Structure 1
Amino acid sequence: MKAKINLLRSRLMGEGNAATLARGAASSFAIRMTGTGINFITQVVLARLLGVGSYGSYIYAITWITVLGVVGKLGFDTASVRFVAAYSTQQAYGLLGGYLRYSSQVILLISIGAGLCLGLVSWIFQARYSLELLHTFWIAGALLPLSTALEVQQSRLRALKKIIQGQLPQEVLVPLLVLVGTVIAAVWFKSDLDATTAMSIRLVAVAVALGISFYLLIQVLPKEVRVSQPIFKSNEWFRAALAMVLVTGFNMVVAQTGTIVLGATLGTKQVGMYAVASKIAELLVFILVAVNSILAPLVASLHAKGERTELQRIVRIGVWIVFAISLSIAVILLIFGRQLLSLFGAEFTASYPILVVLIVSQLINAMSGPVSLLLNMTGYHGDSAKILAISATINIGLNIAITPIYGAFGTALVTAITSLIWNGSMSIIVWYRLKIIAVAIPERIFAISIKGDN
């Protein structure tokens, strides 16, 4: 037994792909778990202090930041994982420096424009909003460029396989600062907070995290990048990023359309009910994101080398780790779901049926977690975009038809249906394009099902 333990330890400390995946996933898991815990507490505190209406306004504005952030990033967050990882591996420091400079300039310009548009549109339609929501939107417009830059910085650090440095500012520091700031504000004002104050606190938190993230990137970049003459392949980078933004954009439509339709048709209270259930269901997500954060650069590297067998092995390990842990967490959430919802306030316990449906949706994601990643990192982002475009169209249609009638429960049901459609479709495409099984189903059963389709 001691010899086996020593062998396992030596393998984990080695330089192999499995060891890299295990260490990276473990680090990411720890950070995600810590960040998720802090964020959960933060959301509980915000929901209790703001109440359903103001909390819904806060979440509604955050949703618009998330949606417009897709435009602001223009796909350079996903593209960074691909290009930064490739150029770093190839020691192409001139290209790496050129890519970082070019992508930063484009992101800054577009994200500021998106933030200004959010503020302008909210001012034009101010008659439809409360004064609180209007002011919250204005602060959200200022927050958008900072939030966008922070996400791109995280992607760059991940591409350099600096998992801790890449995730710590956004995943842990931001929710921690929001939590501390909220408590201080509650004590200082000695009254109920509003959505505007909560958004202002988030603005400060993201600004601090962004400054730290920039410092960390400078520290880990190879010194050769600073002294090498930048080489620009602007057209190639822009085309790739544009394809990535289509993938991310359609994915965002699938994720956020329901919340937007809820807010537009039934008001922010329904948004708050759905948001709380979604926050709890997202506890299943952090293991998927943890594994994918280190799997992405590995996939890009192994595909570039043509090592398909090793790629299949690494993907299989990642998929089954994600599904096994996610299933365990899902069982716990189903058992204690009502108690968790009551932490946000007694009125939120009515969201339990919504929570059940969203848990099922997250389990579907866990079963085939890396399918989109595999297509994006191997040059088949076009297939990914097409599938997500069809899924987004279905999602919009179903949300328009179902959400106004069944409310937040209908939104959750549409989310689960859409998740099944795009995950199933991508799993099949990954097999036909790459001959990789990227779903948590025994290989023999998957092979039989594929042959049956033929």
Structure 2
Amino acid sequence: MIGKLRNHLAPDGPFLRVVVASATLRVTGMAFGLLVGIQLARLLGAEGYGVYGVAMSVIALLTVAAEFGLSILVTREVASAKALNSFVSAGDVLAWANKFVLLCSLALIGGMLLLMGAMHVRLGQGLYRTLAYGLLLVPVVALASVWGGALRGLQNIAGGQFPDVLLRPALFSLLLLLVHQAGLVVFDPTIAMILGLVSAGAALLVSGLLLRRDWPTSVIGTRSVKSSGNWLRSAAPMALSEGVRVLQAHLVIIVLGVMAAASEVGLFRVAVSVSLLITLPVSLLNVVSSPMLAKLHAEGDLAGMQRLLFRVSVGMTVGVILLCLPFVFFGRELLGFVFGQQFSGSLNSLLILSAGALVNAVFGAAIGLLNMTGHEKKVTRAFLVSLLFLAIMVVPLTLVYGGAGAALASSATVACWNWIMWKDAMKHCNLDASIFGFGAPARRGVANVDR
């Protein structure tokens, strides 16, 4: 058994090298992301950080709607095209995705401005101004996501992550430092949103330059016969899945914003920020494994997919456990020291969110497996069921337990959709994405494609 485990994790082939490179980017980017959270919490205080958090939750939902799952579709199409050495259709889908994102963003911004105008008094001046500037983030972040997906499909995993994962938070942190030190403006959530917009714009520019460098010049200007309607039908389930997933994450903050004081939202935002550090192994290995799964699926290598899935689940689980331990033993002291004593009350919410992260890790990369093998509708179903589960639980739990109740609803929802997708991956792909898949050979047959 030990010898078999060693073979699974042996440093041969590209997997370990890609993981190390991506981990370096993600860890460094996460460090800057935490630094940004610390800077914002200290500069804005619990109330101001809560206003900023509510605004960012709204912007996140709009961005997912504008991006419409196209980054996943582009990754899949480009990775398959690279495996088959046929890039014409990939070029078409990327051009169509760019146009779709821009048009959808304009429509969403216009509709949101009308809604904000009708609710101006209820929103309050601070939230209204912060949201107004934040709307400009929608097309910028959505386009960057699509271009990053294309880079990952080209197997440039590091390039597909660098602008958004590392450059954007690093520049944001630098801008926060410079503006605060200059003391030329009164720092508030609106100023924070403007600085975030500048950093996102820079990240988009770098993504475009990297994609222009790596994209095969032989297919520029060529056209395929594939209909955009096919892409839209493929993207729609992914968009719905991603939208539901983001809604699950941000619905909790929005509910807290309605039911609790802004300071309570600020405390929960800190817990969420730290939990993102704990889920780093999950997000990292999902990003790395998705294009590899698409490539192996295109080649029909079912056994290779099973080996990859086991490596991913082990890495996720071990990584999450190691990152949880400091907060289990010294969480209150760490939170108070880093963010300020007023944020030490975030510990209970953080521990509950960490439990959800561990469940997510144990079940592995089921979501990436289903999306990369054409079973995106199963992902959509899992997220819709879990969203209904969240909608039922979040209000009563938040009423009774406040931020801790919101965290409990969030973690239970994570467990719900992971269980459903794990079962679907077993049934429709003949593969076990979880840590329990050790030594389990892929069953005979080829993975089904239920569209």
1:443 shift after superposition: 4.6
1:249 shift after superposition: 1.5
1:65 shift after superposition: 1.2
- Aligned to 1:243, which of 232, 237, 258? 237
Residues 419-428 or 101-110, more deviating: 419-428
Q: For residues 235-290 of structure 1, what are the alpha-carbon distances to aligned partners after superposition, in whole Å with 9 as ceiling and x for unaligned?
A: 11110011111111121222221111111221322211111011111112222222
In the alignment, which residue of structure 1 is the partner of 2:196?
202
In the alignment, which residue of structure 2 is the partner of 1:273?
267
Q: How far apart are the structure 2 equivalents of 1:310 and 1:227?
A: 35
Q: How far apart are the structure 2 equivalents of 1:207 and 1:381?
A: 30
Q: For residues 20-64 of structure 1, what are the alpha-carbon distances to aligned partners after superposition, in whole Å with 9 as ceiling and x for unaligned?
A: 221111111110000000111111011101111111111111111
2:78–2:87: 8 Å Cα contact kept in structure 1?
no
Q: How far apart are the structure 2 equivalents of 1:424 and 1:93?
A: 36
Amino acid in the other structure paired with 2:291: P
- Aligned to 2:406, which of 405, 411, 418? 411
1:232 shift after superposition: 4.0
Q: How far apart are the structure 2 equivalents of 1:179 and 1:87?
A: 38
Amino acid in the other structure paired with 1:56: G
Secondary structure at 2:434 match in 1: coil
- Aligned to 1:421, which of 392, 416, 436? 416
1:94 shift after superposition: 1.8
Amino acid in the other structure paired with 1:247: S
Q: Are residues 1:432 and 2:427 paired? A: yes
In the alignment, which residue of structure 1 is the partner of 2:78?
84
Q: Are residues 1:29 and 2:20 paired? A: no
What residue ranges of structure 1 are gaps of 5+ in the alignment? Answer: 1-6, 13-17, 448-454
The aligned runs of 1:198-237 (5 Å cut-off) are 198-226=192-220, 228-237=222-231
2:335–2:343: 8 Å Cα contact kept in structure 1?
yes
The aligned runs of 1:291-310 (5 Å cut-off) are 291-310=285-304
Amino acid in the other structure paired with 1:118: M
2:97–2:146: 8 Å Cα contact kept in structure 1?
no
In the alignment, which residue of structure 1 is the partner of 2:344?
349
Q: Are residues 1:172 and 2:166 paired? A: yes
Q: How far apart are the structure 1 equivalents of 2:164 and 2:61?
A: 18
Q: Are residues 1:373 and 2:374 paired? A: no
In the alignment, which residue of structure 2 is the partner of 1:63?
57
- Aligned to 2:313, which of 302, 313, 319? 319
In the alignment of these two chains, the number of paired residues is: 434
Amino acid in the other structure paired with 1:29: A
2:309–2:364: 8 Å Cα contact kept in structure 1?
no
Amino acid in the other structure paired with 1:251: R
Q: For residues 167-214 of structure 1, what are the alpha-carbon distances to aligned partners after superposition, in whole Å with 9 as ceiling and x for unaligned?
A: 111111111111111111112236751000000001111111111110
In the alignment, which residue of structure 2 is the partner of 1:361?
356
- Aligned to 1:260, which of 207, 231, 254? 254
Q: Are residues 1:129 and 2:123 paired? A: yes
Secondary structure at 2:432 match in 1: coil
Q: 1:176 to 1:292 in 2, by over 3 A?
A: same
Q: How far apart are the structure 1 equivalents of 2:332 and 2:186?
A: 25
1:360 shift after superposition: 0.4
Amino acid in the other structure paired with 2:362: M
Q: How far apart are the structure 2 equivalents of 1:111 and 1:314?
A: 36
1:160 shift after superposition: 1.0
In the alignment, which residue of structure 1 is the partner of 2:3?
none
1:367–1:439: 8 Å Cα contact kept in structure 2?
yes
Q: How far apart are the structure 2 equivalents of 1:330 and 1:225?
A: 47
Secondary structure at 1:441 match in 2: helix
In the alignment, which residue of structure 2 is the partner of 1:15?
none
Secondary structure at 2:85 match in 1: coil
2:310–2:437: 8 Å Cα contact kept in structure 1?
no
1:391–1:421: 8 Å Cα contact kept in structure 2?
yes
Residues 86-95 or 360-369, more deviating: 86-95
Amino acid in the other structure paired with 1:426: M
Return structure 1 stretches of 4+ with deviation > 3 angstroms.
227-232, 442-447
1:273–1:351: 8 Å Cα contact kept in structure 2?
yes
1:85–1:297: 8 Å Cα contact kept in structure 2?
yes
RMSD, aligned α-carbons:
2.0
1:161–1:294: 8 Å Cα contact kept in structure 2?
no
- Aligned to 1:383, which of 378, 384, 392? 378
1:158–1:166: 8 Å Cα contact kept in structure 2?
yes
1:92 shift after superposition: 2.0
Q: How far apart are the structure 1 equivalents of 2:214 and 2:344?
A: 46
Amino acid in the other structure paired with 2:401: Y
Q: How far apart are the structure 2 equivalents of 1:98 and 1:446?
A: 37
Q: 1:227 to 1:116 in 2, by over 3 A?
A: closer
1:65–1:140: 8 Å Cα contact kept in structure 2?
yes
Q: Are residues 1:336 and 2:325 paired? A: no
- Aligned to 1:188, which of 172, 182, 201? 182
1:333 shift after superposition: 2.6
Q: How far apart are the structure 1 equivalents of 2:395 and 2:168?
A: 34
Q: For residues 305-332 of structure 1, what are the alpha-carbon distances to aligned partners after superposition, in whole Å with 9 as ceiling and x for unaligned?
A: 2211111011111111121121111112
Q: For residues 67-106 of structure 1, what are the alpha-carbon distances to aligned partners after superposition, in whole Å with 9 as ceiling and x for unaligned?
A: 1111101110111111111122222222121111111101
Residues 59-68 or 85-94, more deviating: 85-94
Q: Identity of aligned pairs, percent?
A: 27
1:116 shift after superposition: 2.7
Amino acid in the other structure paired with 1:363: L
1:227 shift after superposition: 5.1
2:237–2:377: 8 Å Cα contact kept in structure 1?
yes
Q: TM-score, normalised by structure 1?
A: 0.91
- Aligned to 2:88, which of 76, 94, 98? 94
Q: How far apart are the structure 2 equivalents of 1:223 and 1:129?
A: 49
Secondary structure at 1:279 match in 2: helix
